[in-house]
Structures are given as structure tokens and as C-alpha cells.
Structure 1
């Protein structure tokens, strides 16, 4: 690895020192062109402990940090309802923005964040790290080469366990206004992969239910998507799986290709079928990644590295705000279906109360 002192490193700040923040800090530490300069959490002890472990100056107020700290990029890893507000403040302070999923709780807030970054001339990237999984990149190359032929259908499946103790960790977890349920908090990454693969959405119909967990929002959901190209997408999402996480799976089927990516975090190719592809399949199966230690997968380092490239070389991050908005729109449409009992024709029109 190159010595960080010999190159110009971008200075990062992490706002929110909770569950996902260590993945960002560890990824920043592993990149020679990145440096963790500041961290922020409203709980002083958490901010200090995080800074002691990973580096950076601790803050308890993000506005103070934005004014005082010498930083280039802000990573927003707070409760979901704060993502857009903090991202907008960072953009207005002239900082590039990386925001955890969901990028906002409403399309209006997502659009305000996108606009704020454009007006400030800063980059905006949404953390959908599974796009960088080796298995997903391999499938994506086959897709871009036209090897599937006409796409017919696909499925995004999350079968994970989030028990009552998980939701009891913080009062905002599982709430409508601050977090959402299994779709917004867990399945959104896989829904992003589904729409990235199959393209623009024509309509959505779905159901949600709260079966086992003591939360305001859904712990189980199912939905059907009709894509504009005629393909059908299926979504299955559950945080009720007994007794632990089983799988996150993406199925892609077409006229001349079938791919199933599974593992704990869409990290392993389980089916790879293309005409004359037997040798290729053997090589792919022989070079599989093992399951990651957590469901967060292996992609955080690469998505941060991609942001560094976008800042230093110009151009757009791999997952800009407009891309992050797409999975959010699908989920909000499913929530609207649950309320109205009717399919949603895209684009989604939010109610005045949203």
C-alpha cells in the first residue's frame, strides 16, 4: 500500500457513530487517498470512543463540525430521517456528500438533497455498496454485453432476522417517520440491484405486514414490479426469519441467460447459465468469495474509492443521487399500495402529508 503521506488524501468526516459507521471508518483507513479527519455523534461518549478507535476529531454538533473542521467529504450515517437534512447542510458548506441508504424518507427530501448538491457544485453518492460485489459486477458485465437476450423476470429476496432486541436498541428503529421497515432499512439494497438490472419501472403493486416484531412498520413484504421493458420483478423481504439471517438473493432470467446470486449478502454466484458457458461457470465457481463477516458485504471500500475518483478526476459517482432515488421511489410506492389497495403507476405522486 502506498504511504498516505506521499499523496494528497481527501479528508473525510463521518456523522453518526452507530452500527454502520465502523465499515466506513475501516474502509477509509484502508485507502491511501483517504483520511478520517472528523467524527460526529450527538452522544459525546460515542463520538469520543469512535475517534479514539478510528481517528479524527470528535464533535457532537454537525453544524459546528462543518464550520470548523478541514474536511472534503462528509459521510452521513445517522438515523434515516436526518440523511437529507444533514446532506443539504454539508453541501451548502461546500462538502461532497456520501449518504447512507435511504438517502431520504420522501421523494421531496431526496430531490431537495440532489438539488442542493448540484447548486453547491459538490458530488453526491448514495451508499449502495452491493453494486460493487464481485458477483454483481460479473452479472452486470454479462448484462451489458447482451448475453441475457430479452429479460423476462427477476427477484430480489431478503431473508434475514432482526429481532425485538435489535429494534429496542434505539427508539427510532422501525418507526414510520424516522426509519421505515424491512423494505426501507434492509431490502433497499437488493431492490436497488433489481431496478438497476431491469431498468425503468412502469408500475408497482405490493403488500406489507407486521407479523412478529413490535414495530410501527413492516417486518414482511411482497411486491410485483412491471418494468417498462415488459419484464416482471418480484420482491420478497422479511426480517422475521428464524433463527438467523439466511440469504440475500438476486435472480435474473432472460431469453438466453439465467443467473442467481446468493450468499448472505448477494456475494456468491449460485447459478450461471449461458450458451457455451460451462468453462466460464467452472472458473467463476472456483474463484467465489466467501460470505462476508456481516450482511454489509465487501463493497464499502470500493464505493468510497469511487467517490475519491469522482472528486479528484471529475465526473459522476457510480451511485449518484438520481440512482439512489429510484429504489426509494419503489419502496414508497409499495407503502402507498398498502394504504390504498391499488397499484401505483410511475412516476409516484406523493401525498401532501408525506
Structure 2
């Protein structure tokens, strides 16, 4: 029998715990070690999944035989911990965004390439049949000449109720642009192509210099000339909205509620489009692809190269917001 892929998890917050369930549900994975700076959380999780508990990731990496390590800590710790994982020669899955800065992201990608290991970013929309249906609608040409695209992010509460932690509402690491933006930026880059330059305006709470943005507006200019408007608004009495819309001369296609494809031909209303293929849970898709790649087989993953491209966009967004001017996106 093929041996199970031995997985270690570093970071046991809400996101780490969520994907941990997908790992433990797979018969092809053995969660061997878990690590968190909160010793009681590490111990409790380890007992639940029958793994060893650690509070120091270096000790875990130096002691436990692992095939793959999942880095699920807050963003400012991705760079240092990922480099330790790669130095240990382990395959790696990292949470998004890949890093806090483009220079960190580039170093992580170079180190992963040099280590010759599988490197992946956790972007749950990747491979979703709704996203693939949207891609087909855009790429098949029936929309005609593309005229404009728009991204809309609305959150009645930020941080969201399930996401209460010390960093997600902070300016250094958190905020909806950095936390939610990578999901749709990945779709944009994959379907519409590279972004040439960015303009952005961001609003922050006047009374709290450490708090993340409450609103943002921006424009992305793609290399082909298409403009993508970005609107983000938090803490308003409206339902959550995460959507992407592409307007063409002959029709409109979009994604509503993150991954539900919609289309309108001519002046008609946007209507849901049946997705192509079964909807497998995102965690199950990701774990299956990781297992395949670790075993040297085919598997569809978002690698660190895409993480660098997304980070280049986020860096340009922050620079544009700070300067009030257009900023070129650095090549990944």
C-alpha cells in the first residue's frame, strides 16, 4: 500500500483548524504533528487528531518526519517560518497572502524553487467549477469586446464574526483588501491577464492609527488596457457581497457570492449559469491535489509564483494609496 502523506500544521487558528479537518478526513493523509504558540490549543488539537503537539516549529521540523507542512500563521510570520520549512526540505502549503511584502514573497518563491519541493498557496476558489464556468464565459468570446470589469467587496462587519483575532482588523496584516482581495485577484490574473498599474484611495478610522481600512476605491489597468474598478466598504447595514463582473459589448458575465457564475446577453438580467462538473468541497480538492503532487503525480495547485504576482499587486495598491498616484506593478 502507498504510505500516507505525513503532514505537520503550524498555526491552529480558525483557518488552520478548518483545513486541518480536510487533512484528517483524507485516508491518504496522516496528520503527524501540530504546532501553535498557544500550548493549550496545541495540546487539545493534538489529542483530537492523535498527533504530537509543539509550540516551537523549528523543534517540530527537526524532530518529526514530515512530508508536507501547512503554514497557517498570521501573514507577518509566513516569510520566516516558510524559509525554515524549506530549509528542512519539506513540501509546503502556505496561507494567503504569501507574505507581507513583495521582497519577502520573492525570497520565498526562490527558496521553494531552489529546494525542489512542492509549493502551494491556499486559495479555495481555485478549481471551483463556478470559477471555471466564469472563465469559459469570458474566454469563449460571446461577450464581445470587453469594456470594463469591477470587483465589489461589502462586509456588514469587519472583522467578520467567525474571524475575531488580534491581527485581522489591524493595518499591519489585516483588512479586507489583503485578506479577501487575493481570492478575486487570483481570478482576475488567471482569466483577464496581468495588471500593468494601480490607482487606489483607502479610508482608515481617524481615531485608531493601527486599525485596518474601512473603505477603499481603486482602479487596476490591465496590460491589455482593460480597466477594473475595485470598491470595498465595511461596517454597513448590507449583506456581505463578494463579486466580480465583466462587461462586454455583447453581454455581461460575473461571479456573485464568491463563486456563483451569472451571465446576461444583451440588456437582459443577470441569470445564474449551471456549473460544469460536481462541486467538491475546496478543502477536499486541495488535499487531493497536494497528495498527488507530493507523490510525484499530477495535481492542480496555485504555486508561489502566483503568490508573488498577487503580492506585487497588493504592494502596488498600498503604494498607490499612500501617494495618491498611479503605481506600476512590479514584474513578478
The 1:168/1:308 distance shift into structure 2, 3 A limit, reads: closer
Equivalent pairs, count: 329
- Does 1:253 pair with 2:247? yes
Deviation of the 1:224 alpha carbon? 0.5
* TM-score, with structure 1 as normaliser: 0.83
Moved more, 252-261 or 40-49: 252-261
* Structure 2 match to 1:238: 233
* Residues 103 and 168 of structure 1: CA distance in aligned 2, closer, same or farther (over 3 Å): closer
Tell me, in whole angstroms, the C-alpha distance in 2 between the residues paired with 1:305 and 1:285. 21
2:203 is the counterpart of 1:209: yes
Distance in 2 (CA, whole Å) between partners of 1:108 and 1:72 is 27
Q: Which residue of 1 aligns with 2:121?
A: 126
**Gap regions ≥5 residues in structure 2:** none
Look up the SS of the partner of 2:184 in the other structure: helix
Match of 1:284 among 264, 274, 291: 274
Aligned to 1:278: none
- CA deviations 1:316-339 (Å, max 9, x no partner) are 752111112222222221111121
Other-structure match for 1:158: 153
Q: 1:76-225 to 2 correspondence within 5 Å?
A: 76-163=71-158, 169-177=164-172, 179-211=173-205, 214=208, 215-225=210-220
Contact 2:138–2:253, Cα closer than 8 Å, also in 1? no
1:267 to 259, 265, 273: 259
CA RMSD of aligned residues (A): 3.1
Rate the CA distance shift 1:347–1:168 in 2: closer, same or farther, 3 A.
closer
Q: Quick check: 1:152–1:230 contact (8 Å CA) kept in 2?
A: no
Residue 33 of structure 1 corresponds to: 28
- The residue that corresponds to 2:289 in the other structure is 306
Contact 1:174 1:180 in 2 (8 A): yes
Q: Residues 298-337 of structure 1 correspond to what in structure 2 (within 5 A)?
A: 298-314=281-297, 318-337=301-320
- Aligned mates of 1:224, 1:32 — CA distance in 2: 45
What is the alpha-carbon distance in structure 2 between the residues aligned to residue 218 and residue 230 of structure 1?
28
Q: 1:171 and 1:197, CA in 2 relative to 1: closer, same or farther beyond 3 A?
A: same
- Residues 91, 116 of structure 1: 8 Å contact kept: yes
Residue 125 of structure 1 aligns to a residue in which SS? Answer: strand
The answer (yes or no) to whether the contact 2:10–2:35 under 8 Å persists in 1 is yes
Report deviation, 1:78: 0.4
How many angstroms does 1:57 deviate by?
Answer: 1.5
Contact 2:123/2:302 (<8 A) preserved: yes
Instruction: Indicate conservation of the 8 Å contact 1:163/1:213, yes or no.
Output: no
Q: How far did residue 272 of structure 1 move?
A: 2.1
Which residue is 2:325 aligned to? 342
CA distance in structure 2 between the partners assigned to 1:282 and 1:20 by the alignment: 29
Q: Which runs of 5+ in 1 are unaligned?
A: 1-5, 276-280, 290-296, 350-354
Question: Tell me, what secondary structure is at the counterpart of 1:284?
Answer: coil
